[in-house]
Structure 1
Amino acid sequence: MCKKNLNCLINIYLSMIKILVGCGKNKNVMESCESFSKINDLKITLTDSEEYFINSYKNNEYNGYIRGSLSSSSILSKIKELNSFPLNRATYISNIFNNNEDNNISSNINSNINNDSNSINTGFNDSHEFLLCPVGIDEGETIKDKIEFIKSTIDFWNKLSKTPKIAILSGGRKEDFGRSDKVDKTLNEAETLCNDVSIKFNSSIGSVKNYGILIEKAIADKNNVIFAPNGIIGNVIFRTLVLVNNWNSYGALALSSDKIFIDTSRDQSIKGYQRSIEFAYFLAKRI
């Protein structure tokens, strides 16, 4: 092999996006990875070892990490220890207004391959999209936590040269105040959070609005951050939209991590894992 060709191969290898995907009992993740075999600048490594996954994350050996079907409790707890702060996971959802697969961002892998460059044509800019958060049941518990969480969503959109438009949710409408102490607490927190975000991040956002309990209006107004009252409610919203109603989720991105880590369900479908890999690939090339 001539030196020129050797250098070309070396450059191709160095420019490749390397993604590590965990594979546990659910083998759908294996089939999802096979769909990317024609992508010249993407190398996917599967592992069934939690230890290898964590060590690789710690040593920064890959461009992106997807939990896949490995154990949630084990992987997440160890990554939290390495980061020394909450992961602040936000689920990326896109193109939710049309369930016709042909109109989804990643309707199928073959349609997302650019034949000229053999790279994925993501199309993440072509439809309504939003981050749903918090979705970790132990995340976003205090006002301070929530402000830091929202800051991380703002940073995410700014890195992609997009304007954050934030919807704050609570446990009721404003006129519901006084009906329940629990509801009142969420109403007060939503109002405080909305005011604080407006003051602290005014120059970095397009808008922030308190929508009360009206999530349907928050989505219809095309906000790209939907912020739930807490992680438990956020998790229930995620399960309702994605697992019950089949809206397209690309996985839960750990916004506070300096690495690309995407959390996925152990019970995800093949297409669900495919979307998470596309998301990691997209972020690795853009951020």
Structure 2
Amino acid sequence: MNQKPEQSAPNIPTSTAPAIQTGLPAADSKEMRKLIGLMEQFAVLKHATVAMGVRQADAETIECARRAVEQGYADVVLVGNRAEIEKASASVLPADAPLPFEIVDTDEPEEEIVSMLMSGKVDAAIRGTAKASDSLSNLKRACDINEIHRIAILLTKQGNPYFFAPVGIDEGTTAEDKVKFICLGTHLLRRVGVMPCVGLITTPDDAGKEEAAIIIREMKKRDITVIDYGLNLEKAFENSNYIIAPNGISGNLIFRALTFLGGGDGLGAPILMDHHVFVDTSRSAGHYTKAIMVASALSKKREYKE
């Protein structure tokens, strides 16, 4: 069992790994499209052990876990009520076939997935169908942090991937918080080999303009270019690969509109922390195979070497 490292708020990176410089707007570049393929390669290479919270197990949840194992992304541990998981598995898997995943029996998956992550029993975790508020509260308590930074990975209907934040209703409420989001997100993009192109979506009032000016000024000090697109969503998505919404509420609405109404897809929202990998998921999305892939790819089980 690994000893739990001390952790406070995430450190904002001051330096990052080299990234691919495309010189082209994100929508015209193939580099972001390569991102998903790269993450799949990382996941298979690392083949991490990933815990997934399960409440009210159903056939879709089981099928997502089965596919993740079948595609070699990870060893999956389903954390929830064993009887419910086994019953749901019987409707998906052949009767005599061994379960392709491990089951940890608990009626409190929100606590257990965090405990397993912190103790080192698993390399990464995804929320799955566990309750959001309880899972994130337990995570903050275990990591001794007051705030979290989730960055959603979004695929549009056309298959273009984007990083998108904030998506939590209580996130991104200040310019300072958005600066943290930008620093952490650009570091993650560079880590997977992509040059960040950051676009701000801002309100047209004085407060929105003032906040945008503060953010751009602060990011310039860090040699990170940020462009304010106002409310021009089309231009922001055309020319950026990392979109910052005005706040978590509007970000959540934009994300849901693009995924549930616009034919897009969500790959989960990694919570950026120094020592642990936890991918938040939407209970209504059901795309847990991809979230498991992301969790395994971002895990620190093994550093990727070309």
Query: 1:218 — aligned with what?
Result: 236
CA RMSD between the two structures: 2.0
Aligned partners of 2:235 and 2:113: how far apart in 1?
A: 40
Query: 1:280 — aligned with what?
Result: 295
> C-alpha deviations, 1:2-59, integer Å up to 9, x for none?
xxxxxxxxxxxxx741010111125222221111343457210101122321211221
TM-fit CA distance, 1:265: 1.2
User: Is 1:184–2:216 an aligned residue pair?
Assistant: no
Query: 2:85 — aligned with what?
Result: none
**Secondary structure of the residue that 2:267 maps to in structure 1?**
strand
Alignment check: 8 A CA contact 2:157 2:265 kept: no
**Secondary structure of the residue that 2:229 maps to in structure 1?**
strand
Query: 2:54 — aligned with what?
Result: 23
User: Is 1:34–2:66 an aligned residue pair?
Assistant: yes
Gaps of 5+ in 2: 1-45, 81-108
Aligned partners of 2:266 and 2:69: how far apart in 1?
A: 22
Alignment check: 8 A CA contact 1:86 1:256 kept: no
Q: Higher mean Cα deviation, 143-152 or 25-34?
A: 25-34
**Residue type matched to 1:265 in 2?**
S
The alignment's TM-score, normalised by the length of structure 2, stands at 0.69
Report how many residues are paired.
227
Aligned partners of 1:193 and 1:53: how far apart in 2?
A: 35
Identity %: 27
Q: 1:40 to 1:220 in 2, by over 3 A?
A: closer
Gaps of 5+ in 1: 1-14, 99-103, 105-127, 173-182
Q: Trace 1:96-115 onto structure 2 (pairs within 5 A).
A: 96-98=156-158, 104=159
> C-alpha deviations, 1:54-101, integer Å up to 9, x for none?
21122122121100000111001111122314221010113x252xxx
Q: Trace 1:221-260 onto structure 2 (pairs within 5 A).
A: 221=239, 223-260=240-277
Q: 1:196 to 1:25 in 2, by over 3 A?
A: same
Q: 1:53 to 1:214 in 2, by over 3 A?
A: same
Aligned partners of 1:63 and 1:246: how far apart in 2?
A: 32
Of 132, 145, 165, the match for 2:177: 145
User: Is 1:164–2:225 an aligned residue pair?
Assistant: no
Q: 1:257 to 1:29 in 2, by over 3 A?
A: farther
Of 278, 287, 290, the match for 1:261: 278
> C-alpha deviations, 1:232-263, integer Å up to 9, x for none?
11111111111222212101110235311110
Aligned partners of 2:116 and 2:130: how far apart in 1?
A: 14
The alignment's TM-score, normalised by the length of structure 1, stands at 0.73
Query: 1:110 — aligned with what?
Result: none
Query: 1:47 — aligned with what?
Result: 79
Q: 1:45 to 1:187 in 2, by over 3 A?
A: same
Alignment check: 8 A CA contact 2:169 2:249 kept: yes
User: Is 1:68–2:128 an aligned residue pair?
Assistant: yes
Aligned partners of 1:64 and 1:77: how far apart in 2?
A: 17
Alignment check: 8 A CA contact 2:167 2:255 kept: yes
Q: 1:40 to 1:235 in 2, by over 3 A?
A: closer
